């Protein structure tokens, strides 16, 4: 296991290095002068010069790159142009709400997906299966920037049960989490159905039934556990969708997280903050994929002996 | 039963996008403030938007933009991805190693994050959206084609072509790459759905098509401010996206079942 862990870790380091390089390159893709782009065309030359010095854009590219990597190593992501505070401070302040949204959305997704998937597998081809799978397909096809406003129309405008947007209480979290969780639920439900369906066709299930075990016991004690590995994997792989989903969901519901901060930073051309947010999301994604691989190897010994 | 419906939806959207101006006798840009936010009527079945423009006429122009982005992103991504994946898989060695590492880095960015980042620095425009989506889209095709090429290059007919003295490029593009076409077509059809959602997402965030040009994403964004007084501004563009995405998804799955029955679910 330790060898697998070290090998997997060694493969991640160049990827993280590549991610950092790509994020560094972003600011240099800005057409023309990034400092001029940030300040606008009407800015005074002296202001543009000052900003170039402040951002280190007057240094040779390799020097800028070294100082960027050095800063990263120290946890220094630069200074936000808009807030005039360290980028890391702005991101940290919004990490809590984003984590809360992502975690609750995952829980919502699992609570919706598992029953739908199990029903689909147990009653394959019947009306209830078709209804469950149509529901999950609708979840895949409905973009969250539509589902969110539709849920707001139903639960806020028509029924008046929940606030349309904002933060502060658990009630503010319900609609964003439901919006973000629905798309994840759709994919997970289909995976649960396929995985449990495959297990139910295995010979050991037939043998257990032949020995007189009840259908419920066979499903819950045997087939269900074995079908969990691909489900756990797909839930883990969905993290990417959660992370990008937070960008849109937070924007819809004015949820004060990192996703909304990123869009605001883009609007204000606050490139250091844009860089910081993108770096954080990408590194979180890579790290979570690493963790999922580790869990997968723990669950399935065949992986670590490959 | 869903397959004919799926292809029907895709065909209908294509026709609607092309023939939009002939189907609806209203200019999508003409404002009639006296009908601002008015709901559906017989003459205007989808109602008016916040500036009194006909929502159906704008939805049809939006369909054109969605399909353009989908086709442009899929065709360029598939071409670039096929070329890169084929060369990497056939050449092996350091070419494959470098391409593999580059793809790993690009795949380390979740979903459309990299596209958001690229449009953020390049500036919002339709062309930048296409460029950004292609920059992440080609990777999927490259991985797919590379995997197929690794299998096909060892087959006897390929070895026979090599033994007969055919050049590597001839073997690759005349004998190996054609065998990956089915898989690429299937991925491309499914990719249309992804590209349409991605364009709408970027436009919704204000990073794609800019007003007054109608796009389904910008229409949804504008509708957000009128959830209370004009919910039809949110409902219809979203429905259009959902129907088209479902159409392409089902069409892609049907093509996969037909062209590549072994991978059918």
pLDDT at B260: 67
Among candidates B196, B68, B78, B137, which has minimal Cα distance to A141?
B196
**Rounded mean pLDDT, A167-193:** 89
With an 8 Å Cβ cutoff, are B121 and A274 in contact? yes
pLDDT in tens, B30-42: 888 888 888 888 8
With an 8 Å Cβ cutoff, are A22 and B105 in contact? yes
B interface with A, Cβ–Cβ < 8 A, is 101-102, 104-105, 108-114, 116-118, 120-123, 193, 197, 200-201, 204-207, 217, 220-221, 223-224, 227-228, 231, 234-235, 237-238, 241-243, 245-246, 249, 265
Q: How many CB pairs under 8 A join A and B?
A: 133
Nearest CB to A150 within list B102, B118, B234: B234
Alpha helices (runs of H) in B112-231, residue ranges in sequence order? 113-122, 126-152, 156-163, 168-170, 181-204, 216-224
Chain A residue with the nearest C-alpha to that of B227 = A153
A176 confidence band (pLDDT: 50, 70, 90): very high
**Rounded mean pLDDT, B67-96:** 94
Q: Shortest Cα distance from B122 to chain A (angstroms)?
A: 6
Instruction: Say which residues have a Cβ less than 8 Å from residue B47's Cβ, sequence separation at least 6.
Output: B37, B38, B39, B40, B41, B55, B230, B232, B233, B236
A294 in contact with B at a CB cutoff of 8 Å?
A: no
A266 in contact with B at a CB cutoff of 8 Å?
A: yes
List of chain B residues whose C-beta atoms are within 8 Å of the C-beta of residue A138: 242
Chain A residue with the nearest C-alpha to that of B108 = A286
Q: Shortest Cα distance from B163 to chain A (angstroms)?
A: 34
* CA angle (B129 as vertex; B105, B242 as ends), nearest 5: 100
Mean per-residue pLDDT over chain A, rounded: 85
A305 confidence band (pLDDT: 50, 70, 90): low
List of chain B residues whose C-beta atoms are within 8 Å of the C-beta of residue A156: 227
pLDDT above 60: residue B102: yes
- A69 vs A165: CA distance, rounded Å: 38
Helix (H, G, I), strand (E, B) or coil at A86: strand
A90 confidence band (pLDDT: 50, 70, 90): very high
Nearest CB to A141 within list B118, B231, B242: B242
pLDDT in tens, A9-58: 888 888 888 888 988 888 777 777 778 877 777 888 888 888 888 878 88
pLDDT above 60: residue B71: yes
Q: Residue B54: beta bridge partners?
A: B48
Neighbours of A74 (CB within 10 A): 8
Q: Is the ipTM value over 0.95, yes or no?
A: no
B79 confidence band (pLDDT: 50, 70, 90): very high
A241 in contact with B at a CB cutoff of 8 Å?
A: yes
- A202 vs A225: CA distance, rounded Å: 13
The region that residue A31 occupies, defined by phi over 0 for left and psi between -120 and 50 for alpha, beta otherwise, is beta
Q: Shortest Cα distance from A111 to chain B (angstroms)?
A: 24
With an 8 Å Cβ cutoff, are B231 and A263 in contact? no
List of chain B residues whose C-beta atoms are within 8 Å of the C-beta of residue A18: 101-102, 104-105, 108
**Rounded mean pLDDT, A220-249:** 81
CA atoms within a 13 Å half-sphere pointing along the CA-CB vector of B93: 4
Q: Shortest Cα distance from A278 to chain B (angstroms)?
A: 7
B2 confidence band (pLDDT: 50, 70, 90): low
Of A222-226, B88-92, B154-158, the poorest mean pLDDT is in A222-226
With an 8 Å Cβ cutoff, are B104 and A18 in contact? yes
Kindly state the percentage of chain B with pLDDT values over 70: 97
B261 confidence band (pLDDT: 50, 70, 90): low
Burial of B233 (0-12, 13-18, 19+ CB in 10 A): buried
Question: And the tokens for A232?
Answer: 């756990």
pLDDT above 60: residue B263: no
Q: Looking at residue B49, what DSSP letter applies?
A: -
A55 in contact with B at a CB cutoff of 8 Å?
A: no
Q: Looking at residue A238, what DSSP letter applies?
A: T
With an 8 Å Cβ cutoff, are B112 and A244 in contact? yes
pLDDT above 90: residue A96: yes
B265 confidence band (pLDDT: 50, 70, 90): very low
Nearest CB to A15 within list B108, B207, B235: B108
Check residues B2 and A144 and name the one with the higher pLDDT.
A144
- B134 vs B69: CA distance, rounded Å: 10
Do A283 and A268 form a contact (C-beta atoms < 8 A)?
no
pLDDT in tens, B169-200: 899 889 899 988 888 998 898 899 999 999 99
């Amino acid at each position: 296991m330790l060898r697998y862990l070290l090998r997997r870790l060694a493969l991640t380091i160049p990827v993280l290095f590549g991610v950092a390089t790509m994020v560094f390159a972003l600011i240099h893709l800005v057409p023309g002068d990034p400092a001029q782009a940030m300040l606008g065309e009407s800015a005074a030359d002296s202001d543009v010069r000052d900003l170039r010095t402040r951002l280190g854009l007057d240094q040779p590219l390799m020097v800028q790159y070294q100082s960027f990597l050095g800063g990263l190593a120290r946890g220094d992501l630069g200074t936000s142009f808009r807030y005039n505070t360290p980028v890391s401070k702005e991101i940290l302040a919004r990490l809590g709400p984003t984590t809360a949204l992502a975690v609750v959305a995952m829980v919502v997704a699992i609570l919706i997906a598992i029953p739908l998937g199990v029903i689909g597998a147990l009653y394959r081809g019947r009306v209830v299966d078709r209804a469950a799978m149509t529901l999950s397909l609708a979840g895949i096809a409905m973009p969250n920037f539509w589902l969110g406003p539709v849920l707001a129309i139903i639960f806020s405008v028509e029924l008046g049960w929940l606030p349309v947007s904002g933060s502060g209480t658990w009630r503010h979290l319900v609609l964003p989490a439901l919006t973000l969780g629905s798309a994840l639920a759709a994919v997970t439900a289909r995976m649960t159905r396929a995985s449990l369906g495959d297990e139910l066709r295995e010979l050991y299930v037939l043998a257990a039934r032949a020995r007189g075990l009840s259908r419920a016991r066979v499903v819950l004690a045997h087939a269900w556990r074995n079908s969990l590995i691909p489900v756990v994997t797909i839930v883990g792989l969905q993290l990417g969708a959660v992370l990008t989903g937070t960008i849109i969901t937070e924007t819809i519901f004015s949820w004060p997280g990192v996703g909304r901060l990123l869009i605001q930073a883009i609007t204000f051309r606050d490139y250091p903050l844009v860089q910081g947010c993108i770096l954080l999301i990408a590194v979180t994604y890579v790290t979570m994929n690493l963790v999922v691989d580790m869990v997968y190897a723990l669950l399935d010994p065949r992986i670590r002996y490959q | 039963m869903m397959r004919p419906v799926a292809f029907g939806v895709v065909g209908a959207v294509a026709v609607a996008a092309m023939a939009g101006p002939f189907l609806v006798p209203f200019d999508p840009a003409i404002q009639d403030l006296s009908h601002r936010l008015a709901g559906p009527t017989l003459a205007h079945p989808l109602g008016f938007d916040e500036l009194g423009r006909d929502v159906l006429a704008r939805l049809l122009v939006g369909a054109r933009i969605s399909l353009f982005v989908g086709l442009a992103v899929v065709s360029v991504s598939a071409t670039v991805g096929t070329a890169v994946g084929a060369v990497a898989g056939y050449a092996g060695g350091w070419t494959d190693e470098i391409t593999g590492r580059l793809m790993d880095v690009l795949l380390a960015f979740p979903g459309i994050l990299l596209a958001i980042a690229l449009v953020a620095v390049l500036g919002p425009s339709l062309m930048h959206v296409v460029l950004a989506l292609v920059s992440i889209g080609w990777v999927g095709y490259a991985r797919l084609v590379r995997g197929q090429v690794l299998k096909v290059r060892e087959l006897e007919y390929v070895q026979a072509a090599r033994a007969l003295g055919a050049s590597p490029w001839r073997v690759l593009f005349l004998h190996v790459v054609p065998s990956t076409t089915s898989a690429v077509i299937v991925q491309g059809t499914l990719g249309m759905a992804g590209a349409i959602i991605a364009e709408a997402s970027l436009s919704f965030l204000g990073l794609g098509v800019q007003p007054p040009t109608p796009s389904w994403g910008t229409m949804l964004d504008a509708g957000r401010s009128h959830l209370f007084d004009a919910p039809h501004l949110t409902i219809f563009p979203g429905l259009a996206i959902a129907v088209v995405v479902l159409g392409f998804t089902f069409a892609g799955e049907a093509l996969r079942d037909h062209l590549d029955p072994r991978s059918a679910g």
